[in-house]
Amino acid sequence: MIREDRIKSNFIRLAHFDSETFHEKEIGKFLTEKLKDLGLEVRTDTTNEEFLKKHPDSHPNIYGFLKGNTKSESILFSSHMDTVAPGKNKKVIIDESGSIHSKGDTVLGADDISGITAILEALNVIKEEKLLHPDIEVLITSSEEAFCEGSKFLKEEILKSKKAYVLDLSGPIGRAAVSAPAIISFEIEVEGLAAHAGFEPEKGINALNIAVSALAKIPTGKVEADTTVNVGTIEGGTGKNIVPEKIRLTGEVRSLQTEKSNRKVEEIEEIFKAEALKAGGKIKITKTEHIKAFRRKETDAVVHSFLRACQKTRIHSQLITTFGGSDANRLNEWGIQTIVSACGMEDVHTTREHSHVNEIKKAAELVLKLMTVQEVKND
């Protein structure tokens, strides 16, 4: 059945690639061949050209299809092939206890290599043991770490499943996020007027003062139970003796309600506008809605099947709300019921990132069960 040696060697092989966001060309080629070897029909004509023109070192999203031999409905499994930085020259260390970590100078890449490894292992077992399964779709996206940029350019019409599992979550196997936020980022440019700070400061309009007084009126952090606000960067000014003319700020809003995240960004815009107006300056704001929020119910088939698969594999299940975005947001937006499943990654996005062979094994067992579990009608 599930083979630990294969899990280890696949994990190490995948981590060997330098696959930071927008640089997934090599790992993408490798995964394309890997899925073909497992008997899947693989397509890489899945991504609008615009994306590859913008990011020539990236790889199209990879779509694999394994024809089923039962009548159950098609299911989609997804993970992403990019890692955050620092992700070059990753060395995988697996100690005797099975714990997996990097040398400490890069991320490990378990986010999301663990997810891919679990999917590959389940497909291997299905092939070897000739198990019964419905049509299985596999989607390995690129550039997920940049607010799901890769899936944004996916030609969504190629997907036919009505339910999907994205393997891309920290925590014990059996944990699944059934609710996740909308994410909107913004960039604000405050424009004042430069003047000599000593000779005639009164002729200037201080953009930094405008920004500071606006910021003082904007609560940040968890501003409501379902909403967070962050202003992450501020830069500008040209000299110690010059009244600052331009200040740029960037930030983001997350909310479990898409509408609310839009309203919050509008509130921020209004505050900046009012402060600029008072001082005689102006502002320009650019807003980008990266993903929309989703919430799946326990009665949804995708959740129901997940809980059943956990039960059958004796894995403790836990349904949570996350404040992280993933490709699940995109898939839900396209009308595919999707949840995000834990797959063996801890302390992600840090050089302390680690995983454990047993956890990836459990993730593979769970994926295998989800791929092969026989559906009860009206599930």
| C-alpha distances in Å from residue 308, one per residue of 213, 337, 355, 370 | 53, 16, 25, 9
State which residue, 135 or 353, has the beta carbon closest to Zn ion. Answer: 353
Q: Which amino acid is at 155?
A: K
3-class secondary-structure state, position 188: strand
Q: What is the CA radius of gyration of the chain?
A: 23
Rounded Cα–Cα distance for residues 168 and 165 (Å): 9
State which residue, 144 or 275, has the beta carbon closest to Zn ion. Answer: 144
Rounded Cα–Cα distance for residues 356 and 152 (Å): 31
The DSSP H or E segment spanning 187 is: strand 182-191
Which of 127, 46, 112, 34 has its CA nearest to residue 79?
Answer: 112
Question: Where on the chain is the footprint of Zn ion (CB under 5 A)?
Answer: 111-112, 168
State which residue, 140 or 207, has the beta carbon closest to Zn ion. Answer: 140
Cα-flanking dihedrals φ and ψ of residue 139, to 5°? -125, 115
State which residue, 121 or 168, has the beta carbon closest to Zn ion. Answer: 168
Minimum distance from CB of 325 to Zn ion (Å)?
10
Minimum distance from CB of 176 to Zn ion (Å)?
15
**Structure-token pair, residue 276:** 């600029």
DSSP string, 216-227: HTS--EEEETTE
Minimum distance from CB of 171 to Zn ion (Å)?
13
Active-site annotation, residues: 82, 144
Minimum distance from CB of 114 to Zn ion (Å)?
9
